[in-house]
Structure 1
Amino acid sequence: MSVVDDLTRFVLATSFDDLSSRAVDQLKIRVLDSLGCAIGAVDATPVRLVYDAIAEFGGNPLCTVLGLGRSAPDRAALANGFLVRYLDFNDSYLAPGETCHPSDNLAAVLAGWECGDGDGPALLTALAVAYQVQCRLADEAPVRARGFDHVTHLTFSAAAGVAKALGLDLEQTANAIAIAGTAFHALRVTRTGRLSHWKGLAAPQATAAATWAAFLARRGITGPAEVFEGAKGFMDTISGRFTIQWADEKPDRVERTVLKRYNAEVHSQSAIEALLELRERDGFTGSDVERIELETFDVAYDIIGGGAEGDKTRVRTKEEADHSLPYLLAVAALDGQVLPAQYAPERIAADDVQQLLRRVHIHPADDLSHLFPDHHACRLTVRLRDGRSLTADKRDYEGFHTRPMSWDTVTEKFTRLAEPVLGQPATADVAERVRQLDDASRADVTSLLADLNGAIARHLGREDRP
């Protein structure tokens, strides 16, 4: 059998009964967290531009597009996926050579689910499958060092999750994965140098393409059966050789994914927590800071600290700011928080943060690098103008798998993001309905999506549009 055959059998064999109670709880937390990120992004200009493009193109109204109404499944995956991804506040998975955002699968899985006949447990099962596929490929087949973006794995996982949600058979599922894994790959330049809106759109576009692949496969379109191991296949051209025993996999990788306490690239989380704890303990403000020094693990340094992926002291846009450790530590010192407000254009351009970020110095440390990804370690020194030097060491942060966020903490984050859009009663209602997803009927989930869609549309003034 081919690798796709093995993977497909894992997808079809996985049932809700295979999910541990902890995995179910973590999946519901990820859904709530993702919805909060999505609702918090609805006013962003790039999101409005995507809405406008979808409205212009139209589409058979099969699936919910939050705030816009209904459209075709691939367009729902694109729009809802961009909502989840735009703030860069959604979950992550940390592997030795790769970092990804498994909740990027949610919008595509939802689109497939709306076109299937499953209930709440079926939705969670399809999402668990997508998480497992993406995370295990990140573990065993990292692509970043070869110049490809992590959303390359997402094409495989989203196709698997959509196929599961749609209820495709063995042959259709294999073809969906094969088509998506052959046709849609992303370059790492998306996240290097001068960053663009595509940083937030690369994953939604990948899942939209994977969704399209699944619907083609449902019609009978076939794909290369040896997409992984064949001549000029994925292993030959992108990942190198690897082995995953899919028959032995358990759908539990969601338990190792991590959430973000701060609205910033995931590798910054422990450093931001360390700085804010020092700020609160010692009572300094940003104007008191002469210099900030951070030692961190090499992945953080390479991606957001000024290493392999470019200068991080030239910060002009939201996309550059949330991927710049100098900016993130500077704005945290000045504002006492890193949330969406810290990415307003006027905040990014302000003299105080632009001057302080140039006094932030980042260095990789071998001993901290050896601890990654099991730990999220850093050493921080804040030197104040009065001559004091304040230090903090971290091995994790709240939201890391060693110190996971509770349902209540994630609900607080969801409320902060969603309440300005939905209002208080609706926000609390959505959180409670997500908490009950594992017992939800199809009608329950459909009603939740419709209510969310209507509330966001009213906020945006789009309720009367087609």
Structure 2
Amino acid sequence: MSADRDLVHILASHAADLRYEDLPEEARSAARKSILDTLGVILAASGMEPAVRGVMEIVAESGGRPDCTVLGFGGRAPALMAAMANGALAHCLDYDDQTQWGQHCASSIVPAVFAVAERQGGVTGKELIAAVAAGQDIFGRLRCNVEWKKDWNLSTVLAVFAATASAGRVMGLPASRIAHAMGIATMQSSGVMEMVAGRGSDLRGMYAGFSAKGAVLAAMMAEKGVTGIDRAFEGRYGFMNTYFGGGYDRAGILDRLGRTFLGSGTLYKRWPCVGTAHSHMKAAIDIVQENDLRLDDIQEIRLHVGDYHDLMCQPLDERRAPATLADAKFSLPFLVSVAIARRGMSVSDFSEPGLRDECVLAIGRKMTLVPDPSLDWKLEMPPGRVEILARDGRRWLVEGHDVPGNGENPMSWGDIATKFRECATVAFARLSPDALTEAIALADGLDGLDDATRLMHCLAIPSALPPS
């Protein structure tokens, strides 16, 4: 691991050389969970996010070799476009998994690895698990060790490299070719935080489609002999200097490489919205449930917010009543309002009529903000604090803990399977109960499959997308 050897080569070797047998069970389990969880969220998004319809129509009209499965809407497409379609769906509901430090990688990795696996054929379940685990580990190492100023959207800027490494591994590329692919992927590494923090854009939900497609393209180009960039990460004008002003911890990225796998700490969401809102939601639910508060009992709701929380609150009036489904999932006042009204949240809470729910909007009008720099986002996702004042003078200030799906209250395999079934019930084209049972069993026993793509095939349907 000489300092003369660019990180792109070291991480490429990590992906190429990693053996399934070298993975601890925690990393294997996280990969299996992420695969089933991501496929379920893709199915749900096909029925719950109207904006993705245009992407599916573009995929359908692009034609090409029908090598790969398009989930939710059905049909088949070339690997590039299948990765784009499934990736665009994977983050649409903000229901995909996340690292314990925030940001998302499986929504880029899983669509990419299945696309190249179907294109190639003969990929075992163990190979797929190892590829996903390698990508999750690479993403986590980069995420924890760059100086993020909340300017770039790390989920796409970093995930394209993780997904490229995973795709290259599935394709059986040697380390030198995966390094070339990761260099090529610098051309696909993009995304600004205004896409996330701004309002009115559908891109916030679809962004993983770009990194999944970019990863497949980079790996395919490297397979064909296209060369990348020798010092893609650490060159004078390389990734680290261009994106982070040279602010990265090389030793941290390489610490215990091949021995500790950061994907093991992946968090799986129980609520379909931005993860940095979950602690506030849990605090609000705890207050109203423990004190059996009704809307009329509440005089004011104060959200204590750090810097990133505040992004989800500005401008306050628009965040109380978001105009689009994509905005709703990133609007902290609206999300806390839904949590109070429902005393929880489900995937079916986000619909066009749901945006106009008068009970939810009335709760939002009671909200004010309390700036709190101690809640600024450094590395670990910051907690949320909610203060509720009752009309009779009672007052509660609670910090949200034991959030469903977080490290204190993780989701088991059974929880992931239940979520998968729930997601499938709102898909654009419904699958039979037998198909869902088979998918869960195949994902659970993925290690023993000679052909990992059986999991995709049991969820495949003919195209259900009517003409535009």
Q: Shared fold by TM > 0.5?
A: yes
How far did residue 436 of structure 1 move? 0.9
- Equivalences for residues 363-374 of structure 1 within 5 A: 363-369=370-376, 373-374=379-380
Bigger shift: 225-234 or 332-341?
332-341
For residue 301 of structure 2, give the secondary structure of its aligned residue in structure 1.
strand
2:395 to 380, 389, 392: 389
Q: CA distance change for structure 1 residues 227 and 28 in 2, over 3 Å: closer, same or farther?
A: same
Structure-1 residue corresponding to 2:189: 184
Residue 108 of structure 2 contacts residue 208 of structure 2 at CA under 8 Å; is this kept in 1? yes
> What CA deviation, in whole Å up to 9, does each residue of 1:129-157 have, x standing for no partner?
11111111111124453445431111211
Structure-2 residue corresponding to 1:328: 335
Q: CA distance change for structure 1 residues 375 and 317 in 2, over 3 Å: closer, same or farther?
A: closer
Structure-1 residue corresponding to 2:323: 316
Structure-2 residue corresponding to 1:283: 292
Are 2:219 and 1:214 equivalent residues in the alignment?
yes
Are 2:136 and 1:128 equivalent residues in the alignment?
no
**Runs of at least 5 residues in structure 1 that lack an aligned partner in the other structure:** none
Q: CA distance change for structure 1 residues 58 and 361 in 2, over 3 Å: closer, same or farther?
A: same
RMSD: 2.6
Q: Following the alignment from structure 1 to structure 2, what is the Cα–Cα distance between the partners of residues 294 and 390?
A: 12
Q: Name the TM-score, length of structure 2 as normaliser.
A: 0.89
> What CA deviation, in whole Å up to 9, does each residue of 1:299-348 have, x standing for no partner?
3x2442439x9973451111111101100111222233322332211221
- Equivalences for residues 390-409 of structure 1 within 5 A: 390-409=396-415
For residue 173 of structure 1, give the secondary structure of its aligned residue in structure 2.
helix
Residue 14 of structure 2 contacts residue 258 of structure 2 at CA under 8 Å; is this kept in 1? yes
Structure-2 residue corresponding to 1:92: 98
Residue identity matched to 1:271: H
Q: Following the alignment from structure 1 to structure 2, what is the Cα–Cα distance between the partners of residues 353 and 347?
A: 8
> What CA deviation, in whole Å up to 9, does each residue of 1:244-272 have, x standing for no partner?
32773436211222121211100111221
Q: CA distance change for structure 1 residues 105 and 185 in 2, over 3 Å: closer, same or farther?
A: same
Are 2:144 and 1:159 equivalent residues in the alignment?
no
1:72 to 69, 78, 97: 78
Residue identity matched to 2:437: A
2:361 to 347, 351, 354: 354
For residue 293 of structure 1, give the secondary structure of its aligned residue in structure 2.
strand
Residue 260 of structure 1 contacts residue 399 of structure 1 at CA under 8 Å; is this kept in 2? yes
How far did residue 94 of structure 1 move? 4.0
**Runs of at least 5 residues in structure 2 that lack an aligned partner in the other structure:** none
Point out the structure with the larger helix share. Answer: 1
Structure-1 residue corresponding to 2:233: 228
Bigger shift: 398-407 or 278-287?
278-287
Q: Following the alignment from structure 1 to structure 2, what is the Cα–Cα distance between the partners of residues 375 and 177?
A: 28
Residue 289 of structure 1 contacts residue 383 of structure 1 at CA under 8 Å; is this kept in 2? yes
Structure-2 residue corresponding to 1:425: 434
Query: Of the two structures, which has the highest relative contact order with CA contacts closer than 8 Å and spacing of 6 or more?
Result: 2
Structure-1 residue corresponding to 2:43: 39
Q: CA distance change for structure 1 residues 144 and 155 in 2, over 3 Å: closer, same or farther?
A: farther
Q: CA distance change for structure 1 residues 461 and 287 in 2, over 3 Å: closer, same or farther?
A: farther
Residue 320 of structure 2 contacts residue 331 of structure 2 at CA under 8 Å; is this kept in 1? yes
How far did residue 401 of structure 1 move? 2.1
Q: Following the alignment from structure 2 to structure 1, what is the Cα–Cα distance between the partners of residues 408 and 290?
A: 23
Q: Following the alignment from structure 2 to structure 1, what is the Cα–Cα distance between the partners of residues 91 and 161?
A: 18
Residue identity matched to 1:133: I
1:254 to 263, 281, 289: 263
Are 2:52 and 1:52 equivalent residues in the alignment?
no
Structure-2 residue corresponding to 1:293: 302
For residue 150 of structure 1, give the secondary structure of its aligned residue in structure 2.
helix
For residue 248 of structure 1, give the secondary structure of its aligned residue in structure 2.
coil
Q: Following the alignment from structure 1 to structure 2, what is the Cα–Cα distance between the partners of residues 287 and 424?
A: 42
Residue 84 of structure 1 contacts residue 90 of structure 1 at CA under 8 Å; is this kept in 2? yes
Structure-2 residue corresponding to 1:274: 283
Residue identity matched to 2:33: I
Residue identity matched to 2:111: A
Residue 263 of structure 1 contacts residue 340 of structure 1 at CA under 8 Å; is this kept in 2? yes
Q: Following the alignment from structure 2 to structure 1, what is the Cα–Cα distance between the partners of residues 221 and 402?
A: 43
How far did residue 279 of structure 1 move? 2.8
Residue identity matched to 2:312: I
> What CA deviation, in whole Å up to 9, does each residue of 1:93-117 have, x standing for no partner?
243xx63344431101111222333
Residue 149 of structure 1 contacts residue 190 of structure 1 at CA under 8 Å; is this kept in 2? no
Count of matched residue positions in the alignment of Structure 1 and Structure 2 = 453
- Equivalences for residues 236-251 of structure 1 within 5 A: 236-241=241-246, 242=248, 243=250, 244-245=253-254, 248-250=257-259
> What CA deviation, in whole Å up to 9, does each residue of 1:54-96 have, x standing for no partner?
111112112111233221111111111122211111111243x
Are 2:111 and 1:107 equivalent residues in the alignment?
yes
Residue 129 of structure 1 contacts residue 251 of structure 1 at CA under 8 Å; is this kept in 2? no
Q: CA distance change for structure 1 residues 306 and 4 in 2, over 3 Å: closer, same or farther?
A: same
Residue identity matched to 1:37: V
Bigger shift: 178-187 or 421-430?
421-430
Identity %: 26
Residue identity matched to 2:324: T
Residue 102 of structure 1 contacts residue 135 of structure 1 at CA under 8 Å; is this kept in 2? no
Q: CA distance change for structure 1 residues 213 and 107 in 2, over 3 Å: closer, same or farther?
A: same
Are 2:24 and 1:20 equivalent residues in the alignment?
yes
Structure-1 residue corresponding to 2:458: 451
Residue 375 of structure 1 contacts residue 396 of structure 1 at CA under 8 Å; is this kept in 2? no
Q: CA distance change for structure 1 residues 348 and 394 in 2, over 3 Å: closer, same or farther?
A: same
Q: CA distance change for structure 1 residues 138 and 430 in 2, over 3 Å: closer, same or farther?
A: same
Q: Name the TM-score, length of structure 1 as normaliser.
A: 0.89
